[in-house]
Amino acid sequence: MQFSSTSTHRSPPKLLTLVLLSGLSALSMNLFLPSLPFMAAYFEADYKVMQLSIALYLLINAVLQILIGPIADKAGRRPVLLWGLVLFLLATLGCIYAPNVETFLAFRMGQAVIVVGIVLSRAAVRDMYDQDQAASMIGYVTMGMAVVPMIGPAIGGILEESFGWKANFWLPFGLAAFALALTYHDFGETSAKSGKTLIQQFREYPELLTSPRFWGYSLSSALSSGAFFAYLGGAPFIGTEIFGLTAAEVGIYFGAPAVGYFFGNFISGRYSVRYGVNRMVRWGCWLNAIGVALSAVLFLAGLGSALSFFGFMTFVGLGNGMSIPNATAGSLSVRPHLAATASGLSGAIMLGGGAALSALAGAMLTNETGAMPLLWLMLATSVLAIVAISSVIWRERQLGI
């Protein structure tokens, strides 16, 4: 099989194709979360081992984000996307037919290749439009992505109760097969090959890694989203084991941060130009921390419930929707000529930190501890995010920029 960027495949992709590619990556991360406790029973594995299916997935995502950009610059967007979708289909079949938890986790890590959808759909937008129009188009793609995690766990819970956990892997398999066909026919090559070797492109990383502003923006994004990734690792256990919710109920409650994230994205698109990147990041980080703090206060007072726990997570999503897009824009502006490199590196920092926090959250929770260890972890990362963006603002004031 040869996936070529030549012949008739030169027309730029439609917005629907880009949204599907981005959404499929988001769906693959969280669709099966309501099934985690039941999958642990199926594989006769401890929940903490099963929870590694999130942490390892995020870790491989982080590594791939560093590699995909340079590879796609060298080989082109189209062939990398097509091969990524084929590998995802094979990995998903491996997850469905895995005989034990070790095999499942190995194929689950392979599923992370679907991150090509997010990375290269955004790259294609940058290829096709000038800066202002690209920002607008990426906003549409991002808002489309927000809808997927909003409804994904709810669908996953219903599929779990109706057909069992494997249905939560057959659905992305079917969607990926459709995305492969659509990409093959609609996604024409959008970028000329860079002409650089991979080594030449990787040599540009130190220029970013020595920039305090890049680290400030990247860490504020990573730590702000870290609260959400910790939530990913711990919330299914809390919903099922602490509050006794069914898989379908966990799925419905679980989407609370995505609702906030959708509106946070809208606020970013509407007001970022007016108030500036730094203010939007700081306000987003504060909303994130306030939501977690209010939830913790209720639990400490003995008033915590499923409704309060998941309800206040809406603030986490709202804050992330304001902080992440603006912090990302800030990190890309540090060295404009290295924008693509900065995008991959910043994303890798965010997902690498997310993988660690997700694993830590799953390891900390037991029936005896309740929800508080997760809330303390989320609060700590939220406060550190405020410190990170505050350091950027302080430094700019000191330097008069």
The DSSP result for 209-240, as a single string, is HT-HHHHHHHHHHHHHHHHHHHHHHHHHHIII
Q: What's the rounded Cα separation, in Å, for the pair 2 and 22?
A: 24
Two structure tokens written together for 152: 């994904």
- Same structural domain for residues 214 and 153? no
Q: What's the rounded Cα separation, in Å, for the pair 317 and 263?
A: 9
- Same structural domain for residues 17 and 70? yes
- Same structural domain for residues 225 and 368? yes
CATH number of domain containing 364: 1.20.1250.20
Q: Is residue 385 included in any domain, yes or no?
A: yes
Among 178, 203, 228, where does a domain finish? 203
Instruction: Kindly give, in sequence order, each residue whose CB lies less than 8 Å from that of residue 195, ignoring residues fewer than 6 positions away.
Output: none
- Same structural domain for residues 58 and 169? yes
Among 173, 203, 233, where does a domain finish? 203
pLDDT means per 10 residues, the chain with 401 residues, are: 45 78 81 83 84 82 81 79 94 93 92 86 68 54 64 80 88 92 81 64 74 89 87 84 82 82 81 82 94 93 88 91 81 66 75 78 77 90 94 83 55
Q: How many domains does the chain divide into? A: 2
Amino acid at 16: L
Q: Is residue 32 included in any domain, yes or no?
A: yes
Q: What's the rounded Cα separation, in Å, for the pair 253 and 207?
A: 43
Q: Is residue 6 included in any domain, yes or no?
A: no
pLDDT confidence of residue 4: 44
- Same structural domain for residues 175 and 242? no
pLDDT confidence of residue 132: 46
- Same structural domain for residues 174 and 67? yes
Q: Tokens 């003995």 sit at which residue?
A: 302
- Same structural domain for residues 173 and 57? yes
pLDDT confidence of residue 173: 94
The model carries a pTM of: 0.72
- Same structural domain for residues 347 and 275? yes
- Same structural domain for residues 167 and 228? no
Q: Is residue 8 included in any domain, yes or no?
A: no
pLDDT confidence of residue 63: 85
Q: Is residue 339 included in any domain, yes or no?
A: yes
- Same structural domain for residues 120 and 263? no
Q: What's the rounded Cα separation, in Å, for the pair 382 and 43?
A: 35
Q: Is residue 365 included in any domain, yes or no?
A: yes
Helices (H), 243-365: 247-254, 256-275, 277-300, 306-334, 339-364
The domain of 330 spans 205-401
- Same structural domain for residues 246 and 354? yes
pLDDT confidence of residue 136: 52
Q: Is residue 345 included in any domain, yes or no?
A: yes
Contact 141, 157 (CB under 8 A): no
Q: Is residue 319 included in any domain, yes or no?
A: yes
- Same structural domain for residues 160 and 236? no
- Detail the DSSP E strand segments found in 71-141: none
Among 203, 228, 257, where does a domain finish? 203
